[in-house]
Structure 1
Amino acid sequence: MSQGQPRAAAIFRTAAPSLLLVVVVLISLVIGKYNVSMRDIVTVIGAKLTGVPSGLPATAEAVVWNVRLPRVACALFVGASLAAAGTVYQGLFRNPLVSPDILGVSAGASLGAVLGIFLSLPVLAIQGLAFAGGLGAVGLVYMIGAAVRGHDPILVLVLAGVAIGALLGACISLLKVLADPYNQLPAITFWLLGSLASVTRGDFLSVLPAMIVGLIPMVLLRWRVNLMTLDDQEARALGIETTRMRIILIAAATLMTAAAVSISGIIGWIGLLVPHVARLLVGPNFSKLLPASLLLGGGYLVAVDMLARSMAQIEVPLGILTAAIGAPFFIWLLMTTRRGWQ
């Protein structure tokens, strides 16, 4: 009996993220300004897949197919991508305070999007500039890290990321000062706060391949990530080419983060907080930690997005809610968890 209880607890902790995700997604599909039932959602999905008319009002069908489903799917994959990237970054940098924007990806994506809004470009171009800006910022940080010799490579990357992030932040501030205060500045501010209010099925499908491509190396190299949490000399002694492995994993995490940020704006705390919760549930083994982070991150952002569009007459930006929820919870984690995290 004493052996069965820990085993049952371990099974529950492993299954809990999946159960939470299913429950949150089902609730989020139903709740909104326009009330639809689960039966309506199933009917609409079945009608679209089979080509048979659903028999529902056109408004209900449009809300389910064009608004509710794409938005929940975007929240699911954006949250999962940010959580997975945070999990990889924390392991690579051997620091539990690292988040996906440590190398400037969020700052680069923000500058790209702000520039697109400042130039009054279409939405697709703004998303493209955000995606390219995120990748470009991390590429610049890594070039600086490669050029600096004689120092700890991880420390150089972090410091270069801080410096480039500050520089890009100054550029964003300059564009905000120069922007039209009546049209452009509100759009810039709203984008920087993070939201899924205007996402479409096309937006989701446009970034989905990048998220999947970024996830593949994480899955294939999952056991090597455990070794990357060791000192570089110890990892090399175990047969790991740390430089090449770091480049591959940072590129994968950056690709997922840039894809997510390009359609959602800046949504903080997910990549920092969710890996901690997942680690408490399943332990530090990356083979278990990555799936748990994906599920918890997706479920968490779906829940926060549901709260954002239902708690008030106007929609609350996601960045505000994730900070308001994440900061106190993170402080509680720091106060209650033991010192070791790996």
Structure 2
Amino acid sequence: MKDNLIHLVRENIANLQPYQSARRIGGNGSIWLNANECPISSSFTTNIKSFNRYPESQPKNLISSYSNYACLSNDQVLVTRGADEGIELLIKAFCNPGKDAIICCPPTYDMYAINASILNVEVKEIPIFKDTWKIDLKNIQRNLDRVKLIYICNPNNPTGSIIPKKDIINLLKMTFKRALVIIDEAYIEFSSKDSMVNFLKFYPHLIILRTLSKAFALAGIRCGFTLANKGIINVLNKIISPYPISTIVSDIAEQALTEKGIKEMKNRVLKINLNRDWLICKLEKISLVKKIFNSHANYVLVRFYMHKKIFQKLWEKGIILRNQDHKIHLKKCLRISIGSYSECLRLIEEIKILSHI
């Protein structure tokens, strides 16, 4: 942008640090363990030919498929471009710029704070407790003034930890008629018993975000869902783009949500969880590993001795991890996405070599 146009940019955007996605950071790897993607792609076919027509604003068949999967009614489901669009829509719908605030609990997914900053909404950061990763309920309660939304990632990215249901219920009780509680369940299929979806009927201010990017291995199609009571879904439908989900995306998502597709997803989750447990077992025996944090997702957070050297040397060998050292409580930590068995084996072999240098 030429200098004579810079002054037109909103002040909060000019000063904004963009989200550092795995693809934006880049790398020339052959083993990508930095974006929590599924290591193997699914295969789909489509018979759609009506590319000259706009898609449905909210694809009825897709909504029906997901509501059946989540055991909800159709009017409790909104389809979005990934869960990220749901994060943004909620701030747009409920927060007044320059007046209201959101709460997020770092270290966590950065897009809660980034979306709020883009929309000129204050971000109150209430860090989770170090190493136990529990939310600080007392501190949240003390900071509820002007707060409209509270974002909780569960399982949490990047720690892989689970917030106990009793803590979430206590949070819901303290925020009743005061704020909305959004539980981001992007990784919930890897720990399905911990979902809060069954509590939607008890707490009208509870909202759940879901995605097909992780367990369903469909990160490339950008399809997510917002689950909430009918009133909230109606509000979000007022501001969502007219055609957020393309016809092809909708068709592929519907196929993934068939009985066959769900069975394949569950088998995939089982394999990834087994690979995760195997990887943790092997990491525990390596001298460069200082601490491994328990994970309920398709990644594991590890604190290393000489983490910079490990990250860089693996990068040079085409094994790309995610450095978390800059985040609160995560000094010397790297996040490792769970790849295929062969990818995990190669990772262990290379770290072992580094441990003897």
TM-score, normalised to structure 1's length? 0.26
Greater fraction helix = 1
Which protein has greater RCO, CA pairs closer than 8 Å, 6+ apart? 1
Greater fraction strand = 2
TM-score, normalised to structure 2's length? 0.25
